[in-house]
């Protein structure tokens, strides 16, 4: 990786974006950077165990038509150095340090699942740093059911092994015809990058991140009314990983909020309805 690379030109797609690295707080963080250089960046934070190749290229490319996109690996995951934190608090502090190391005074944040936990915590810890916040497939601190992510996931991972399918097909999508089609299309998109792929997560990294998720689900609720920036929340109507009810709960507690619930969709509702989500997100960011 080369931290001196200036990033991609606006027309470059995510699957061809170079792997970059920057030191923040003594850790080398892996990231990819694309889209126009003139705009406030949108920092993207991903799910449990996700590496750079787990960002949906259709969503990244769609948003990068108008915005600079910086997708990052958490500490101890993928090509980032260090040891994966066991709290969302640490991940949020890492993210703040990374944004500042990249030289930004203010950014937009998009978090999916675990990334939504981290994005909320960043916005509460450093409100002046976050211009707009997008939280997808996620829930608030203390949200009922979040501490059961592992209990829900392990049987689905075993099912993936037994059926020779990526477990994300079961974890992120419904078992309906629409859900199965969306899962197949999404998983194909994740394989489009052929060279310069990121390292997969280690078992230790997965388990440490799961500790952080459990702790988030068991900690005291945060005062989401303190979020003064505009917030867009999106999820599927049948999220078995982070229950959909938690997206509605967050929306009730935030002042400037838009809530989108996709029908016949699960945890990965934004991947199933990627074109609609990109359209809504672009409007939200332009308002």
- Closest among 19, 23, 4, 3 to 81, alpha carbons compared: 23
Mean pLDDT of 45-65: 98
What gap in Å lies between CA 242 and CA 267, rounded to an integer? 7
Label the pairing between strands 107-112 and 130-136. parallel
More confident residue, 21 or 9: 21
Rounded percentage of the chain residues whose pLDDT exceeds 90? 94
- Can you tell me the mean pLDDT for 6-22? 79
What is the residue whose two structure tokens read 């939504």?
116
Residue 135 near residue 232, CB atoms below 8 Å:
yes
Over pLDDT 70: what percentage of the chain? Answer: 96
pLDDT of residue 11: 67
215 forms beta bridges with none
Question: Which of 6-20, 104-118, 227-241 is predicted with the least confidence, judged by mean pLDDT?
Answer: 6-20
Q: Looking at the predicted structure, is the pLDDT value of residue 8 above 70?
A: no
Q: What is the CA radius of gyration of the chain?
A: 17
Q: Convert the pLDDT of each residue in 238-257 to its tens digit.
A: 999 999 999 999 999 999 99
Q: What is the pLDDT of residue 240?
A: 97
pLDDT digits (tens, 9 = 90+) for 98-149: 999 999 999 999 999 999 999 999 999 999 999 999 999 999 999 999 999 9
Mean pLDDT of 153-163: 95
Q: Which domains does the chain have, with CATH numbers?
A: 14-286 (3.40.50.1820)
Q: Which of the four pLDDT bands, split at 50, 70 and 90, describes residue 285?
A: very high
CA distance 224 to 265: 26
- Residue 38: pLDDT band by 50, 70, 90 thresholds? confident
């Amino acid at each position: 990786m080369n931290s001196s690379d200036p990033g991609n030109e606006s027309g470059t797609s995510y699957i061809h974006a170079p792997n970059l690295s920057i030191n923040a707080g003594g850790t080398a963080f892996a990231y990819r950077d694309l889209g126009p250089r003139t705009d406030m960046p949108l920092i993207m934070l991903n799910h449990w165990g996700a590496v750079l190749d787990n960002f949906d290229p259709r969503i990244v490319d769609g948003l990068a038509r108008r915005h600079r996109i910086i997708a990052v690996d958490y500490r101890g995951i993928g090509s980032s150095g260090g040891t994966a934190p066991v709290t969302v608090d640490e991940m949020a502090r890492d993210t703040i340090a990374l944004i500042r190391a990249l030289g930004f005074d203010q950014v937009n944040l998009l978090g999916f699942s675990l990334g939504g936990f981290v994005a909320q915590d960043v916005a509460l810890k450093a409100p002046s740093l976050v211009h707009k916040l997008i939280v997808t497939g996620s829930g608030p601190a203390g949200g009922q059911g979040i501490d059961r992510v592992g209990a829900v996931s392990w049987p689905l991972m075993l099912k993936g092994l037994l059926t020779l399918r990526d477990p994300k097909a079961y974890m992120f999508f419904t078992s309906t015809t629409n859900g199965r089609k969306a899962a197949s299309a999404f998983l194909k998109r994740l394989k489009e990058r052929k060279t310069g792929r990121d390292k997969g997560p280690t078992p230790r990294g997965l388990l440490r991140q799961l500790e952080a998720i459990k702790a988030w689900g068991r900690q005291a609720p945060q005062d989401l009314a303190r979020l003064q920036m505009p917030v867009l929340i999106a999820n599927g109507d049948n999220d078995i990983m982070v229950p959909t009810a938690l997206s509605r709960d967050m929306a009730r507690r935030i002042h400037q909020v838009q809530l989108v619930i996709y029908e016949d969709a699960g945890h990965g509702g934004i991947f199933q309805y990627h074109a609609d989500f990109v359209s809504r997100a672009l409007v939200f960011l332009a308002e």
